[in-house]
Amino acid sequence: MPSYQAPLTEMRFVLHSLLDSAEHYAQLGYEEATPDLVDAVLEEAAKFTESVVAPLNRIGDEQGCRIEQGQVITPTGFQDAYRQYVEAGWPTLAQPVQYGGQGLPYSLNLVCAEMQSAANHAFAMYPGLTHGAQATLMAHGDAALQARFMPKLVSGEWTGTMCLTEAHCGSDLGLLRTKALPQADGSYRLQGSKIFISSGDHDLAENIVHIVLARIEGAPAGTKGISLFLVPKLEVDDDGKLTGPNGVHCGALEKKMGIHGNATCVINFDGATGHLLGAPNRGLQAMFTFMNAARVGVAAEGVAAAEAAFQGALAYARERRQMRALSGAKEPEHAADPILVHPDVRRMLLTQKAVAEGGRALVYEMATWVDIGKSPSASAEAKQRAADRLSLLTPIAKAFLTEMGFEATSLGVQVFGGHGYVAEWGMEQLMRDTKISCLYEGTTGIQALDLLARKVLGSQGALLESYCAELAQYWLAQTLPDTLSPLRDQLLSQLQRWGDLTRGIAARAQANPDEIGAASVDYLMFAGYLVLAHQWLRMALTAHQSPALDADFRQGKLHTAHFVFKRLLPRAEAHGALAAQNGDSLMAMSSAQFR
């Protein structure tokens, strides 16, 4: 079973060298977030993750969750680990000071969340969803509601969920049937059922606060009639004290492919008291506060999966001996060479490394934009730029990094060969656990439509043009060594290709809107490889300009950047060619001809 070790050297490189977090935090008023404090937080988070969270990963997979007398029971050790998590103050790290939080940057919390996800995806989901519930409450709840619920959510004594999906509707939320009946006191009574609710019920916290989409009685049909509600499992009085059950029940636990240690529930609302968040019939817009924050977190899950797969596969490749290197024995004193010498094994390991480290750079940079959006010190111009960049890149990061994270776990199984397919090595669990990241918070297809239809074409190309122009200006202004200049030329060429591709799709879509759907996933994957290459060129240049770094670390960055441009970025060309094709081959067959 792979033993997760937090990649602190990599994390510090991205935070301190690549993103200059010290300057970033100082500009936003986070004076206490000095490099020394950041390093101390990372070291303590690594210790907690490696010693408390990681050892429960296989236990959670083997035991799963169960229901006893109406109560969901988590796997052995989860309850104690969560108690330690709360007592150590980890839930409060980046939360509002007025509600008991430490007020540190979102980007620092994301690094800690990556560690937990890599070590134990199922466990990390319990506290992870709570952050989205808090953000939604802070953005759309009134002061009284915040005072009642935020302190316990911030402390981690209570957890939160997001309740969208119903049995008859997944992403098409306009079909939802959960009803909200207005009450004389201003509250609502909710009636309905939700499925696929991650962390929907458990024994880790004394209360669970559900953020629920429902339709107020008499509201319009479709998405225009959806409202958003806060519905606690146990009722809470005006002083924040628990007063008893609230008609919220776990009807069943889903039997799943992976993340067995996390309780994925059917949640029934039987006349449960709920509180309106935001304006009536504006719930879908309000829910995007939760969804957008969750999507950045899920992108980080893709990074975490790639990191965990790389660590396990690399350790195995160093130890496992099979055959001789094609160029001659590398360790003739042994009966065979370690499989690390074989080119195809290196291809797989380098792909994992490229996704983990390049994806980390992307997600951490996006987290700094979230910092800017949250900071009262940032200018209106800086906030708008950050919002624009997040709007464009969130669907790319969420979909591309989870798809590539899943590929990285598949490669991990492949490096192990037959041993990767059996449970004792842990690689097949990692692959099963990771697949969900490609599905929840919007599948890859949904993210692709969001990117192409809403963000790019919906902004008349403004979001994309601004981003591409900024990247082009940045790279044209850099002085690169001869070894990196060809990579810049390749990147600039692909940036031009991105614009050409977009214009071609837009032209075809004027005649046939199906062209957007036909091109969207390949369009997103094209963008993902381009953005990944940009991050790797940045890291290579930063490493080149940082002679104080360990020599092997620096060279590893430079070598991997060349691998990305020679072996991964060419994939973008194939996706671009597919996205440039019209959709005739997809739409020509009638429904009857699918047989």
SS (H, E, C) 311-332: HHHHHHHHHCECCCCCCCCCCC
**Segment 56-113, tens digit of pLDDT:** 999 999 999 999 998 999 999 999 999 999 999 999 999 999 999 999 999 999 999 9
The yes-or-no verdict on residue 292 having pLDDT over 80 is no
83's torsion region: left (phi>0), alpha (psi -120 to 50) or beta? Answer: alpha
Q: How far is the C-alpha of 229 from the C-alpha of 218, rounded, in Å?
A: 16
pLDDT of residue 109: 96
pLDDT of residue 106: 95
**Segment 428-484, tens digit of pLDDT:** 999 999 999 999 988 999 999 999 999 999 999 999 999 999 999 999 999 999 999
Architecture of domain 8-140: Orthogonal Bundle (1.10)
Q: How far is the C-alpha of 314 from the C-alpha of 152, rounded, in Å?
A: 42
pLDDT of residue 288: 78
Name the nearest CA neighbour of 370 among 472, 293, 314: 293
Architecture of domain 159-282: Beta Barrel (2.40)
Q: Where are the domains of the chain?
A: 8-140, 159-282, 458-585
| Distances, alpha carbon 205 to alpha carbons 307, 496, 565, in Å | 29, 51, 47
The yes-or-no verdict on residue 322 having pLDDT over 80 is yes
Per mean pLDDT, which range of 31-40, 166-175, 555-564 is the poorest? 166-175
Mean pLDDT of 409-419: 97
pLDDT of residue 517: 97
Cα 342 to the center of its chain, rounded Å: 33
> Tell me, what amino acid is at 489?
D
pLDDT of residue 16: 97
Helix 343-374 × helix 380-416 angle, to 10° = 160
Angle at 563 between CA 345 and CA 538, to 5 degrees: 135
Question: How many CB atoms lie under 10 A from the CB of residue 122?
Answer: 29
pTM of the entire structure?
A: 0.96
When the pLDDT of each residue in the chain is averaged and rounded to a whole number, the result is 95
Which member of 441, 470, 515, 573 is catalytic? Answer: 441
- The band of 1, judged by pLDDT with boundaries at 50, 70 and 90, is low
pLDDT of residue 186: 95
Environment class of residue 219 by beta-carbon count within 10 Å: exposed (0-12), middle (13-18) or buried (19+)? middle
Mean pLDDT of 125-147: 94
Active site residue 470: no
Comparison of pLDDT for 228 and 2, the residue scoring more: 228
**Segment 154-187, tens digit of pLDDT:** 999 999 999 999 998 877 777 899 999 999 999 9
232's torsion region: left (phi>0), alpha (psi -120 to 50) or beta? Answer: beta
- The band of 289, judged by pLDDT with boundaries at 50, 70 and 90, is confident
Same CATH topology for 8-140 and 159-282: the answer is no
The answer to whether 229 and 207 have CB atoms below 8 angstroms apart is no
In total, the chain counts a number of residues equal to 595
Please report the DSSP string for 20-51 in residue order.
Answer: -HHHHHHHTT-TT--HHHHHHHHHHHHHHIII
Mean pLDDT of 279-299: 85
pLDDT of residue 178: 95
**Segment 360-399, tens digit of pLDDT:** 999 999 999 999 999 999 999 999 999 999 999 999 999 9
The yes-or-no verdict on residue 301 having pLDDT over 90 is yes
**Segment 527-538, tens digit of pLDDT:** 999 999 999 999
